[in-house]
Amino acid sequence: MPKLYELIQSEYKTEYIGEYQKSEGLMERKNYTSPKIYPKIISEKRLTAFSEEEKQQILQRYKRWYVYYYFRNEEGKMVKQPSIFFKVNQEYKDFDNRYLRIHKLRNIIEKLLKSGYTPSDEYFENNHENQDYTACSALDFALNLKKNSVSERTFIDYKHRIGLFQKFLKNNYLDNAPIKNITKKEVNDFLNTILLKSSPRNRNNTLAVLNAIFSTLEENELIPHNVVSKIKKLPTKPERNKTYSQSQQDTIFTLLEEKDKDLLLFVKFISYNFLRPIEACRLQVKDIDFEGAKLNVRAKNKLVKVKIIPEILLGEIQHFKGLNPEYYLFAPNG
């Protein structure tokens, strides 16, 4: 018997399948259940009953539509068969066409089952969308989904770290392998390269990003389970920052006053306001409250934290007053 994929293709080419018949009472007792559509809501209403708002909500919530059914195995138990996508989601991006196509696919599967097709007759070849996703294309897919659910700077970090992982896969000839073939070992090998080049903290941060991306792949059924979730973090040893003596500080400030006043101001923002360098880089003119001597800092762990600007610094930033509120205080070109 030809493979199920070929049977479906043949049915598409040879005849038109009529509307979905909801009455299961017409079917005699068989070794299979009537094929159903996921998400269930697609089968509960006619196409014309969906509002435009509902259509968009469903497309946003349910990224993958498919047909599934149960077949009785040799022991007499009903076993769920592999979900059938048949590129419905890839080729039909709009709701109406995807709705019509998924129902037609469901009807074809039912007709094939009625005509005697049984999964046990042959090795079932999974001809659904997951096979079309290589390791790199699946990672790009998950990144695209994350783009609207994380902050801009978090997404930049995601993109950078996933880019490194894709480069690793390419160097090891795994970039075109199916995403489901990427195992815990490959991920660990990549993390070890990060560890050898940098630190346990950087390795752990990369692990967190990979875990988030692979969780997205699992949620969208591109992989059966998240292999990254089983990888443990490494312990880190925080190192105390070097402390300069007052004499050394005076020497540094004097040198910067002569050579690079912008860098000196940057150092003072970090020192006097107890900021992280990245927090100082994010500061804009609108973040300064000149009258209240306050600084609004966009932090990682909360939206905004307010810091008091010490008088020793307040007098040195008056030249920012009146500038475009969107300007950054510190930029690559000054």
Strand ranges (E), the chain: 36-38, 66-68, 70-72, 78-80, 288-289, 294-297, 305-308
Q: Could you tell me if 69 and 100 are in contact, meaning their C-beta atoms sit under 8 angstroms apart?
A: no
**Residue 2: predicted pLDDT:** 45
Residue 95 pLDDT greater than 90, yes or no: yes
Q: Could you tell me if 294 and 307 are in contact, meaning their C-beta atoms sit under 8 angstroms apart?
A: yes
Backbone region of residue 293 per phi and psi (left: phi > 0; alpha: psi in -120 to 50; beta: other values): left
| CATH class (in words) of the domain with range 135-220 | mainly alpha
* pTM for the predicted model, two decimal places: 0.50
Cβ neighbours for 242, distance < 8 A, ≥ 6 positions apart: none
- Please name the residue ranges forming H helices in 134-235: 135-146, 152-171, 184-197, 200-219
Residue 27 DSSP one-character state: S
Q: Which of 43-47, 149-153, 251-255 has the lowest mean pLDDT?
A: 149-153
CATH topology of domain 246-320: hpI Integrase; Chain A (1.10.443)
Nearest to 269 by CA among 334, 326, 316: 316
- CA angle, 252 as apex, 246 and 253 as ends, to 5°? 90
Domain residue ranges of the chain, discontinuous segments joined by +: 32-115, 135-220, 246-320
- How much is the CA Rg of the chain, to the nearest whole Å? 29
**Residue 85: predicted pLDDT:** 82
Per-residue burial over 260-274, b if 16 or more Cβ lie within 10 Å, else e, is eeeebbbbbbeebbe
Mean pLDDT across the stretch 213-231? 91
Residue 301 pLDDT greater than 90, yes or no: no
